[in-house]
Amino acid sequence: MTEQEKSYHHGNLASALIAATVEIIDERGVDGLSVREVAKRAGVSPGAPFRHFSSKAALLTAVAEQAMERLVAAVEVAQADDDDTDPLAQIERIGLGYLEWATQNPTHFQIVSSRSLIDFNGSATLRQMNDGIRTRMADLLERAQQAGQLTANADTEALVLSCRAFVYGLARMAADGHFPEWHPNGEPLDLMRRALADFIAGMRA
């Protein structure tokens, strides 16, 4: 990345474009992003990006895929290594990891969750990663039920949705600007932590 300066070909424009896109979105928000400026920042002509991404949505989808990978990674890191851990505690860890990542990477989370800007259904990768988290939580809930941690005739299907919606709701509220003043790791996250803990507690039999 140091001195290849003036070669006709960029080398790896695709990744450079993704990086530039993230930069711009960090600075000016998801709106206010133009392919032209992405191109300019990568040092190429305005039409060049379309060689690698057939549309602006395709570019953003690529960014979303990269972001989703990090989100999944964060969620996995957050889980306890011990596989015998209390399933509900494990769910809480997942939720917390999700929330921490979402609040600390609002830009990326916004891209991942706003499906009007990206082609979610067109990306098998995105769907896989999305389903991965969901089935993981479904498994944990199933295990919790078999361990007798939930009410006997618990509606697991509804509970899976509950967990997803609860965490998604908190993350989305933050990303959508429902917390007027805040800064990452500040009080809102603390509040969210307490809310999450209460929520998990409420599920216990």
Partner DNA sequence: GCTATATGTAATCATCGATTACATCCACAT
Partner DNA sequence: ATGTGGATGTAATCGATGATTACATATAGC
Q: Which residues bind DNA (CB under 7 A)?
A: 7-11, 13, 33-37, 39, 43-48, 50-52, 54-57
Residue number with CB closer to DNA (10 or 143): 10
Does position 116 interact with a second copy (CB under 8 A)? The reply is yes
Q: Which does 34 bind (CB under 5 to 8 A by kind): DNA, a second copy, none?
A: DNA
3-state secondary structure 129-197: HHHHHHHHHHHHHHHHHHCCCCCCCCCHHHHHHHHHHHHHHHHHHHHCCCCCCCCCCCHHHHHHHHHHH
Alpha-carbon gap, residue 133 to 185, rounded angstroms: 24
Question: Binding to a second copy (CB under 8 A): which residues in 175-204?
Answer: 176-178, 191-192, 194-195, 198-199, 201-203
Give the CA radius of gyration of the chain.
20
122 with 195: CB under 8 angstroms? no
How many chain residues bind a second copy (CB under 8 A)? Answer: 37
Contacts to a second copy by CB under 8 A: 29-31, 113-117, 120, 154-155, 157-159, 161-162, 164-170, 172-173, 176-178, 191-192, 194-195, 198-199, 201-203
